[in-house]
Amino acid sequence: MNGIHDMGGMHGLGPIEREADEPVFHHEWEGKALALARVALAGGHFNLDEFRHVMERIPPVQYLSISYYERWLEGTVALLAEKGVISADEFSARLTELSGDPS
């Protein structure tokens, strides 16, 4: 697809920002998000090409505004729903439960 992910040759995306002594993960959840995606891949629930494609399908504005591991997380959640492993309703119910927010 002619998506936002296909970036070669684009202009205007800013300077390359480097970080000295960059940690492998910037937040604990990042390592976990990566691990859960790998678990779903290794578990045979989807393949790597499907996983790349689901991230390409994230709407362009969102693709550019969320972080790398958020794309991994949202891609994993979306594909597991598409594959019937964890439904969207089940996921949002669990979110509500964990946040302690009854609304």
Partner 1 sequence: MSRVITREVVQGLYKRTGTARVDADVAASFKVGDGIRARNVHPTGHTRLPRYIRGKQGRIATDHGVFQFADSLAHGGGKQPQHLYSVCFTAQELWGSQAPARDSLYIDLWDDYLEAV
Partner 2 sequence: MSDEDVALRVRALESLLLEKGLVEAPAIDEIIDLFENRLGPQNGARVVARAWSDPDFKARLLENATDAIVEMGYEAVQGEDMVVVENTPKVQNLVVCTLCSCFPWATLGLPPVWYKSAPYRSRAASDPRGVLAEFGTEIAADAEVRVWDSNAELRYMVLPERPADTNGMSEDELMALVTRDSMIGVTKALAP
CB of 10 or CB of 16, closer to partner 1: 10
Taking the C-alpha atoms of residue 93 and residue 5, their distance in angstroms, rounded to an integer, is 31
End-to-end CA distance of the chain: 38
Taking CA atoms, 53 is separated from 13, 56, 75, in Å, by 22, 5, 9
CB of 9 or CB of 102, closer to partner 1: 9
Query: For binding to partner 2 (CB under 8 A), which residues are involved?
Result: 5-11, 13-19, 22, 24-29, 31-36, 38-40, 43, 45, 52, 55, 64, 66, 68, 70, 73, 76-77, 80, 85-86, 90-91, 94-95, 98-99
